[in-house]
Amino acid sequence: MATTNWLTASSSVFLTRPVNPRLAFASRTNQTPCRSRVSFQGSVKRRLPVVLSMTATEESGEGAVKSVLPGHGISIMVNGCSGKMGKAVIKAAHSAGVNIVPTSFGSAAEAGQTVEVFGKEITVHGPAEREKVLSSVFDKHPELIVVDYTIPSAVNDNAELYSKVGVPFVMGTTGGDRNKLYETVEEAKIYAVISPQMGKQVVAFLAAMEIMAEQFPGAFSGYSLEVMESHQASKLDASGTAKAVISCFQELGVSYDMDQIKLIRDPKQQIEMVGVPEEHVSGHAFHLYHLTSPDKTVSFEFQHNVCGRSIYAEGTVDAVLFLAKKIRLKAEQRIYNMIDVLREGNMR
């Protein structure tokens, strides 16, 4: 290859190290293995094929695909519409021709407010009236799919509400009790796409990591691992994507504790040390994983950097269209993740 940028996925997603890296890690010692597996796929570990099929499945006939094209009856309700991610999803959905209902859920302090997002006025309802409002919206829009980009502490309560009313949903919010989340949806037997990572290209990278971990367990035994992740200051918890990648490295034989992840949240450090463009300090996701052999003679580095939120918003809309098709086909499987969306091969 004549250039080192051959792994670039898009103008805002990079899988190569910058030409002039400015990030230096401090050495760590006393690393101990973490036994719990963190997966972006959900609570049940599934075996992945060596080759990820990107063709349409047999059940996804041409008629089914056409029936869920934007403008064919699908409506979405975006909870968390006043947040940056919610606004990005509304913009992407509007561009794709998906109907956006003028209703959303927010905090008690936001109740009664009207939020204008890309020319659409959306009324925000508080916790006290959620069930009544959601039932009413679902009656009016029978092909409704809820998109959730709220806060981690609301994940389980929101999932219980969607399950009680019977509304299918796409959960892009991270955090909460994930095992309880899956149990709630399974018991309600509703359709849902649940994924802590909605960026399609990043999910494909994660899938490749899981395949490598499954096919070559212990391949990096004895190697040390250093992990840095940088997000906007409002993100207080460690990246779920980083945890999923680290879990793969653990299966590859690397000893590492999740609390060793180096979190960068200071804007000055993000610009000067990490190399985040100043205009994206308020919305980015930079990840770096550095492996070193026991004798320090060999090193490997994996990196994926995202500026902005469009990659997640576009993936979310694809997840909505995917889920709508599964509902119309009355698919036996009810709970999906972004790997399922990628496998379907009908992304825009």
The burial class, CB within 10 Å (0-12 / 13-18 / 19+), for 119 is: exposed
- Both tokens of 155, joined, read 């994940």
3 state DSSP class of 221: coil
Give the phi and the psi of residue 179 in degrees, each rounded to 5: -65, -45
Give the phi and the psi of residue 286 in degrees, each rounded to 5: -105, 130
Are 230 and 264 in contact by the 8 Å Cβ rule? The answer is yes
Catalytic entry in 231, 243, 304, 326: 231
Q: What is the DSSP string of 86-148?
A: HHHHHHHHHHHT-EE-SEEE--GGGTT-EEEETTEEEEEE-GGGHHHHHHHHHHH-TTEEEEE
Q: What b/e sequence results for 128-156 when a residue is b if at least 16 CB atoms lie within 10 Å of its CB, and e otherwise?
A: eebeebbeebbeebebbbbbbbbeeebbb
The burial class, CB within 10 Å (0-12 / 13-18 / 19+), for 103 is: buried
In the residue annotation, 231 being an active-site residue is answered as yes
DSSP 8-state symbol, 10: B
Catalytic entry in 84, 120, 235, 262: 235
Are 147 and 76 in contact by the 8 Å Cβ rule? The answer is yes
How far apart CA 238 and CA 335 sit, in angstroms, is 25
Element (H, E) at 337: none
**Kindly report the CA angle at 322 between 151 and 75, in degrees rounded to 5?**
65
Active site residues: 231, 235
